[in-house]
A and B are shown apart, each in its own frame.
Chain A
Amino acid sequence: MTPGQVLLFTVGGLSNAAYLFIVAAGLSLVFGALRVINMAHGSLYMIAAFVTVVIANQLGAGLGFWGGLLVAVAVAGAIGGVVEVLVLRRVYGREHLVQLLGTYAVSLVVAGGVRIVFGPNYRTVASPIPGHLDLAGYSYASYSLFMIAGAIGIGAGVWTMLYRTNLGRNIRAAVSDPDLLNATGVNVTRLYTTVFVIGAGLAGLGGSIVAPSQAVGSSIDTDVLVLAFAISVIGGLGSIVGSAVGALIVGMVISFGLVIPQTNPFALAFVFIIMTAVLIVRPRGLFGRPES
């Protein structure tokens, strides 16, 4: 493999990791703060992708996409808020199985609704950043480079929110002791809603960003959810840094695994082998904290 090819496959792995990170970060944030495994996370991703495609196709791939992205994130966040109020508040503190079933039910309702509203056909939208970059004899999609930059920016933004703002301080305090935080006058119920809305917004952001690079259909929710969970388990549910590392591992394993003949047949299996190994050796994930 030449250095140019190593760069080619590395960038491929990074762009894979980028969209997975954005989705996994929201999943991880919600689990970290609320201790809820949100099976409907992929549904919010899917809704946002559809909203983006519809708006971008109406208004044009350029401005329409960016407008669509904003609306899609807002829609995903709003639906997340409704789900939190109507469903999650009733299952906080209950065993994970109940939470899983509750959010899974939401995902089924959303999947049915999406098929009714948007129909069964796949939809596509042109890239808002159509150019490409030629380097060392190979081409790189500008949009893939944008996704990588976007993921880094979003990761930095979430980290800053968590560790450099009052909201982040309250979220971290709620993770440690919600009752004590409540006693200090912070409305923890509202805080939980806010966190879930942010998590839903991140799912929406992932769906919106990925929309120009793939067909948007009513099954993209499950496609992304499986890998997002694998990333979260590897990196540690609740850890944003863990999500980033997990996404990098998964992205690179898939990218290089598929191009190396000896590993190709097992490339996707490796992701889950790594996940299983992490669960055995370090059940809380590489950067996760043990559940108290």
Chain B
Amino acid sequence: MFLENPALEVDVAPPLGLTCPAAARGRPLPTLQTPAACNCDRLVGVTCDCIWGGMNVKRIVRPLSWLALATAATILIAACGGSSGGGNQPVTFKGTKKVGYSAPLTGQSALYGHAVSQSLKLAADDINAKGGVNGYKIEMDIQDDGTQVAQAVTNTKAMILQDNVVALMGSVTSAQCLAESPIAKQNKIITIDATCNSWQLTTQPDIVNPYWVSIVPNTYMEGTAAGRLAAKLGVSKIFIVSPKYLFGISETNAFLAALKKANSSVQIVNSQSTWYVPFPTNPRWDSTINQIQALKPDLVYSNIFAADQINFIKQALAVDPRFFTKYPMTTLVSVDELTTLGSQYPEGMHAYMRAPFFALQNNNARLTDFINRYRARYNGEYPSDWAVMDYDALTIWAQAANAAKSFDADQVVKQISGHSFDSLRGYKITIRSDELQANVGETTGTTTTSSSYPFPILKDITNLKGDDLMMPLQMVNEIKGNQCDAKAGDPTTANFALCPSWTAAS
């Protein structure tokens, strides 16, 4: 009865008694003969979306006649009602609540926004399959911000004021988060942040938002991990390249502080005014590559990311295929950069990563299940660090909101602050009450080719514990107490390296 043409789209649960044959994995499934024979999940629009044996397959169907369409739609809507559920056990919802995410689906950070969006949709479906949150079905409200701060602000306002979201997921860049946070705070909307990570977002007095929870290693933690990694390499001349905005400056400062603490004789070969490149950048990196050639450092420290890192690596390798052998690099990496460049990604890069699945998978059945389901649903894509972290972000919020039996930000924060949660990373993460920062770890290692994946992974992996990287509590309190300001009384000039506890220890 159904021909291929967009007209009716339904989500259906696995056909009763059927499993997906292994041979069919990755291939189109046979057209469903009778959608009504499937247990209906929900009517979403106009494609038949069938989750079958762990696969999610779009089925576009057209009835032979409008009568057939109307009949089929009536049957399906009647069968579905307002219910949803996993497998064959439908769950009744009171209604739908939206969770907002201003995503860079285009622009410099599109790589990351794509992964996060996919992961959040998967997390929302998993949450709904377990009954949703406080009896409500959760729906992601994802709006493209083009990696632009102004658009992120517009999206945040629209999601809060028009779409009535009950929570937000933090955007990708600190520049966006810095702009979104006051809006969320003013409207008392909790934000779970799993990507942008400047420590200022949770600690600097003029920025702090009591409803902002960070479950990503912040720039202090990450910079410290990178600094210790560089110190272990025993280099003496370092070249710095970093994006010129809050994240880059914040992380570079933490890197330098940790590095100097471990090795005070290390020399930065480029002038401080050339450390930072405009963000988003010109896609040509000739100037930076040429500066590195001219200054001949022992190590390049970078926290450039996404399209910038890909362009930099490609252009450096074009200048000299042995560029990164001559000038080894310590850099922030995510699975996204590795998969995008594939075999072109250089070996021997000293990487620090936030949540690479391949380094966290040992004895971690939950992560393995997530990887399998993510890949089945998204055309075989591997989940990036951002996908892993944002899945955690939404599920942590859902657990807390369920525990609070409320969507009220104060109530939900109470259920997060000081509490521990299971995570895809394979360990429990605890949100420190003082600044709502999770004790999440960082992974370091050296890139190497892999026989298991079509992209490089890490060797000599060290999964650093979050507790060993977090900003000392005393320092957090000193920053919050305006004791670390370069200009007294001006929290915008706060620098942890000026804190009494830091200077005393140095």
**CB of B286 within 8 Å of the partner chain:** yes
**A232-262 to B contact mask, C-beta < 8 Å, 1/0:** 0000000000000000000000110111011
Q: Among the interface residues B114, B272, B283, B342, which one has the most CB atoms of the partner chain A within 10 A?
A: B283
Report yes or no: A264 in contact with B274, Cβ–Cβ below 8 A.
Answer: yes
Q: Is B271 an interface residue (CB 8 A)?
A: yes
Contact present for A219 and B108 (CB under 8 Å): yes
Contact with A along B397-410 (1 / 0, CB 8 A): 00000000000000
Q: Tell me the nearest residue of chain A to B310, going by C-beta.
A: A215
Distance A268 CA – B107 CA, assembled complex (angstroms): 19
Q: Is the CB of B111 within 8 A of A122?
A: yes
A141 to B294, CA, bound (A): 15
Please count how many residues in chain B sit with their CB below 8 Å of the partner chain's CB atoms.
43
Minimum C-beta distance from A57 to chain B (A)? 10
Q: How far is the CA of A124 from the CA of B338 in the complex (A)?
A: 12
Of residues A124, A144, A212, which shows the largest number of chain B Cβ atoms within 10 Å of its Cβ? A124
What secondary structure prevails in chain A residues at the interface with B? helix
A258 near B320: Cβ-Cβ < 8 Å:
no
A259 touches B290 (CB 8 A): yes
B36-57 interface with A by 8 A CB criterion: none
A220 touches B283 (CB 8 A): yes
A8 & B288 in contact (Cβ 8 Å cutoff): no
CB atoms of B314 and A8 under 8 A apart = no
Evaluate contact between A144 and B321: CB separation under 8 angstroms: no
Interchain nearest-CB distance for A119 vs B (Å): 8
**Is the pair A144, B278 in contact by a Cβ cutoff of 8 Å?**
no
Q: Is A15 an interface residue (CB 8 A)?
A: yes
Cβ proximity bits B262-302 to A, threshold 8 Å, 1 near / 0 not: 00000000011110111010111011111101100000000
Contact B111 A12 (CB under 8 A): no
In the complex, A177 has a CB within 8 A of chain B: no
The distance from the CB of A147 to the nearest CB of chain B, in whole angstroms, is 10
Docked-complex contact B283 and A124, CB < 8 angstroms:
no
**Known A15-B284, A132-B320, A220-B283; contact A139-B293, beta-carbon cutoff 8 A:** yes
Interface positions, chain B 66-111, Cβ under 8 Å from A, are 105-108, 110-111
- Closest CB pairs A-B (n = 3): A12-B286, A261-B271, A141-B318
New A-B pairs, 13, CB < 8 Å, besides A19-B284, A217-B111, A219-B108: A8-B293, A8-B294, A15-B284, A16-B284, A122-B111, A138-B293, A139-B319, A142-B318, A215-B307, A217-B110, A218-B110, A224-B283, A257-B287
Listed by A's residue number, 8 A-B pairs whose Cβ atoms lie within 8 Å are A121-B111, A122-B340, A138-B293, A142-B318, A144-B319, A214-B310, A218-B106, A258-B291
Q: Which A residues are closer than 8 A to B by beta carbons?
A: 5, 8-9, 12-13, 15-16, 19, 111, 115, 120-124, 126-127, 130, 132, 138-144, 212-215, 217-220, 223-224, 227, 254-255, 257-259, 261-262, 264-265, 267-268
